């Protein structure tokens, strides 16, 4: 495996992700921000943050699989959430948990969660992009 996840001493442990990933592979994979579209381009979970987060993670997994990768190869996630506020964290984590259960994984790469004023269409509440490293 080309990714090692680490929580260095001196940094807090966070349940949702590890603080650092060390990549030793030779092929970088950049996944465009994935929104809550199904395969037909229809928005899943309109108005439901957890459902949209779940779909975004499933779409990232599909994109990764398309190039022979998986969440185990992800070195970094960036998540954009419309009108982010800390009280949305339980909904966000619910969506991640639902996707993880469907995929049989625990997605813990380092991540950045950013609030956004808007995304590509008004129905989209979240967008997730990923960087992966393959051997």
pLDDT tens per residue, range 42-68: 999 999 999 999 999 999 999 999 999
Helix ranges, 5-122 (H): 49-65, 89-103
Looking at every residue in the chain, the average pLDDT score rounds to 94
> What pTM was computed for the model?
0.90
Over residues 32-51, mean pLDDT = 97
Over residues 73-80, mean pLDDT = 96
3-class SS of residue 23: strand
Write down how long the chain is. Answer: 135
Domain 3-134 carries which CATH code? 3.30.1330.40
Domain ranges of the chain: 3-134
3-class SS of residue 55: helix
pLDDT classification of 1: cutoffs 50, 70, 90: low
pLDDT at 27: 92
């Amino acid at each position: 495996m080309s990714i090692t996840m680490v929580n260095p001493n001196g940094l807090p442990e966070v349940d949702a992700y590890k603080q650092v990933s060390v990549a030793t592979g030779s092929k970088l994979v950049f996944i465009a921000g994935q929104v809550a579209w199904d395969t037909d381009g229809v928005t899943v979970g309109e108005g439901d943050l957890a459902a949209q987060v779940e779909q975004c993670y499933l779409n990232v997994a599909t994109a990764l699989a398309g190039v022979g990768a998986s969440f185990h190869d992800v070195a970094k996630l960036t998540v954009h959430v419309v009108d982010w506020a800390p009280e949305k964290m339980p909904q966000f984590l619910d969506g991640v948990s639902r996707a993880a259960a469907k995929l049989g994984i625990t997605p813990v790469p380092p991540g950045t969660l950013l609030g956004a004023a808007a995304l590509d269409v008004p129905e989209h509440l979240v967008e997730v992009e990923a960087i992966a490293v393959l051997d």
